[in-house]
Structure 1
Amino acid sequence: MADKPLLKIENMSISFSSPDEPDIEAVRQVDLTLTPGKTLCLVGESGCGKSVTARAILRLLDKNAKIGSGRILFDEPGGARVDLAALKPDSTAMRAVRGNHISMIFQEPMSSLSPVHTIGDQIDEMMVIHEGLKPKQARERTVALLDQVGILGARERADAYPFQLSGGLRQRAMIAMALACTPNLLIADEPTTALDVTTQAQILDLLRQLQADYGMAMLFITHDLGVVAEIADEVAVMYLGDVVEQGSVYDVFAAPQHPYTQALMSSIPKMARKADRMRLAPIKGTVPSPKDRPQGCAFTSRCPYAFEPCSTVTPERTAVGANHHARCHLLTRAKAEVPA
């Protein structure tokens, strides 16, 4: 079935340990579902736990991080369902999934690619390890992939080192590497952040086309709501490790329910005539540190609508429409005030 989930994250919490301090919870009770052929965008300010959530799927967390609770259920090709959270990061089973069935485009390719190996050698290695191809076969596939992602002179570029390529070409090479084994799920961690707007548009078009060609699910991490509107099917908004709102891109953009989502939408610059120009509406304050997490709703200190329970009681997830929900006491109060 096309609508059958490929990966489900259920009630996942992630914490970081320190020799001198108690464990710090960076992600709390996250629930996400990824479906073949669909794109889920994970959005929020820096420090909200987006990249940590993505890296947990591939078990690429730092050594002092642990998944304290929850499951990451992945349907492998062939029908077997495996809980990735239960696998050891360096296990054979996890290595068989990583790069083969689930791939990741990292935020900064210059620091993710090896500076002492050519682009071609790094992509070849993926297919040699996971698909058992001979080196010559792998190189032909590599050249075809580099050509597919729009790198001119692909055969010559395969012999180039990362520092010999521009930022846009390095990002395309990273995409080619992620697609080397035709993954079922592609995780893209802010792949257009460091690129100019023209290259960014080209990369987004490329990802959409590749997703249509391969039918893969995609988890796209960004803080750019313009990119979200262009590429997402569903949106999950994170704040200080919590998913505070989730729904279809149309529902979330047309009728944001959580004050944080509303503030993000209000902070987007808008085109206007000179007479209608208005100052930007920034979100006051900053995201608190996870080690100083407030009680109750994490957004309380920055929320213009905060009232009594917000600072003491953690809000429950409230349905506001079909497949659209948010965590906010305002929604709970509004439902309680509706006459039976």
Structure 2
Amino acid sequence: MAAKPLLTINDMSIVFSSPDEADIEAVRQVDLTLTPGKTLALVGESGCGKSVTARAVLRLLDRNAKIPSGKILYDTGAGPVDIARLNSDSLAMRAIRGAEISMIFQEPMSSLSPVHTIGDQIDEIIVLHDRLNKKQARERTISLLDQVGVPGARDRANAYPFELSGGLRQRAMIAMALACTPKLLIADEPTTALDVTTQAQILDLLRQLQDDFGMAMLFITHDLGVVAEIADEIAVMYLGDVVEQGDVYEVFRAPKHPYTQALMNSVPRLMRKAERQRLTPIKGTVPSPKDRPNGCAFTSRCPHAFGPCAEIRPQRTMVSTGHTARCHLLTHEKAEAFA
């Protein structure tokens, strides 16, 4: 029996308004489902809308951003709550943010307060949500730091962020995100600035913590190697659109959208010297959201683009069980040659 979804994003769009220009659509009609104990990887080039989508779940969008349509349904256990309709400063949203849904931000040095110790910052979350006194909160903080592999946790709790290495700051961020044992953990490129050894340690740690707590995890990255190692499902974004989605093995084995194929072809591979060849880059650049094509967002860079691609947005097509893609080639007579 399939597990009940913890968070379901239905047809969600995000726009940014400006007093001098028309509204800019940053995310367009996104559908995502997160299940307890499973990891969904959200991938794509920088600026495609991954982080904005994640921040919408926690209602941490900029003041000029709004969610004009769609739902973010979170299962509280007592029934679904539409986060998209909650005020970002409401008591209901504050009870969810940090306690039931938590986030590891992309750059810990800019996300952590430079004038407060690591311990004080984690203590504050525990005191706020779990109503413990300061002594009890500090003991839990030390336990969390120890659990995420921070050596000398009791002493490190009194350290400021600038006194820690990048790897230790990232572990402190993970400890902070796990302070109240969330049901959903959002990890926004948590390994991007780390060396490969520390990156592997962080990924192992996240997998172990997910097994321990049974969390759902939304893992945001542009590194397909990381996706293959940690994710159960993948959603590929381009210019605010989810262009392909499905089981990681299925999508990696047989990618159907030209953008997913281009991403995979641009990944370096280990080869014998006689087999070595140049990487295949994705030609062109991502269009500005201000100049979004009426049709498929990838049209200007797609080597397979034809007639309707520029004017008609492709519908989501079921490729196989749980594997979907938005591409005209999948429903056109060219599909056989393309596949």
- 1:209 maps to 208
Number of the residue aligned with 1:314:
313
- Rounded to whole Å, the distance in 2 between the matches of 1:336 and 1:200 is 39
The residue type paired with residue 43 of structure 2 is: V
Unmatched runs of 5 consecutive residues or more in structure 2: none
> Secondary structure at the residue paired with 1:176?
helix
Matched residue, 2:161: 162
User: Runs of at least 4 residues of structure 1 off by over 6 A?
Assistant: 335-338
SS of the residue corresponding to residue 218 of structure 1 reads: strand
- In structure 1, give the amino acid aligned to 2:183: N
Q: What is the RMSD of the two structures over their aligned residues, measured on CA atoms?
A: 1.3
User: Residue 10 of structure 2 aligns to which amino acid in structure 1?
Assistant: E
- Give the conservation status (yes or no) of the 8 Å contact 2:15–2:65: yes
Query: What whole-Å deviation, never above 9, does each CA across 1:80-107 have from its counterpart, x for those lacking one?
Result: 2100000000111100000000000000
Q: Partner of 1:102 in structure 2?
A: 101
CA offsets per residue over residues 169-214 of structure 1, 9 Å max, x none?
0000000000000000000000000000000000000000000000
How is 1:139-218 mapped onto 2 (pairs within 5 angstroms)?
Answer: 139-218=138-217
Residues in 2 aligned to 1:334 and 1:67: alpha-carbon distance in whole angstroms: 37
For residues 118-167 of structure 1, what are the alpha-carbon distances to aligned partners after superposition, in whole Å with 9 as ceiling and x for unaligned? 00000001110000001000000000000000000000000000000000
Cα gap change, 1:306 to 1:2, in 2 (>3 Å):
closer
> Counterparts in 2 of 1:263-282, with a 5 A limit?
263-282=262-281
Judge conservation of contact 1:2–1:36 (CA < 8 Å) in 2. Answer: no
Question: Kindly tell me: are residues 84 and 154 of structure 1, through their superposed partners in 2, closer, same or farther at Cα, counting changes over 3 Å?
Answer: same
Partner of 1:295 in structure 2?
A: 294
Q: Which residue of 2 aligns with 1:51?
A: 51
Offset of residue 295 of structure 1: 1.8
1:28 counterpart residue number: 28
Q: Is the 8 A contact 1:103 1:187 kept in 2?
A: yes
Give CA deviations for 1:274-327 in whole Å, capped at 9, x if unaligned. Answer: 111100000001111101111211100000000000011000000000000000
Output the CA distance in 2 between the equivalents of 1:170 and 1:232: 23
Q: Kindly state the Cα deviation for residue 334 of structure 1 after the two structures are TM-superposed.
A: 4.5
Match of 1:82, SS?
Answer: strand
Which AA in structure 2 matches 1:63? Answer: R
Contact between 2:149 and 2:171, CA under 8 Å: does it hold in 1? Answer: yes
Q: What is the aligned partner in structure 2 of residue 130 from structure 1? A: 129
Conserved 8 A contact 2:104-2:185: yes
Q: Distance in 1 between matches of 2:286 and 2:208?
A: 35
| Cα distance in 1, alignment partners of residues 332 and 307 from structure 2 | 11
2: distance between equivalents of 1:264 and 1:225?
Answer: 8
Aligned length: 337
User: Could you list the runs of 5+ residues in structure 1 that have no partner in the other structure?
Assistant: none
SS of the residue corresponding to residue 332 of structure 2 reads helix
Cα distance, 1:335 vs. partner?
Answer: 9.2
1:8-37 CA deviation, whole Å, 9 max, x = no partner?
000000000011100000000000000000
- Looking at structure 1, the residues matched to 265 and 211 of structure 2 have their Cα atoms a distance apart, in angstroms, of 32
TM-aligned CA deviation for residue 79 of structure 1? 2.5
1:67 aligns with 2:46: no
- Verify: 1:7 aligned to 2:7, yes or no: yes
- Secondary structure (helix, strand or coil) at the match of 1:141 reads helix
Letter of the structure 2 residue corresponding to residue 209 of structure 1: Q
Deviations 1:238-258 (A, max 9, x none): 000000000000011000000
Matched residues in 1 for 2:331 and 2:301: separation?
Answer: 19
* Aligned mates of 1:9, 1:335 — CA distance in 2: 32
2:16 corresponds to which letter in structure 1?
F
Tell me the distance in 2 between the aligned counterparts of 1:92 and 1:226. 39
SS of 2:66 mapped into structure 1? strand
CA distance in 2, matches of 1:334, 1:105: 45
Q: Structure 2 length as normaliser, TM-score? A: 0.98
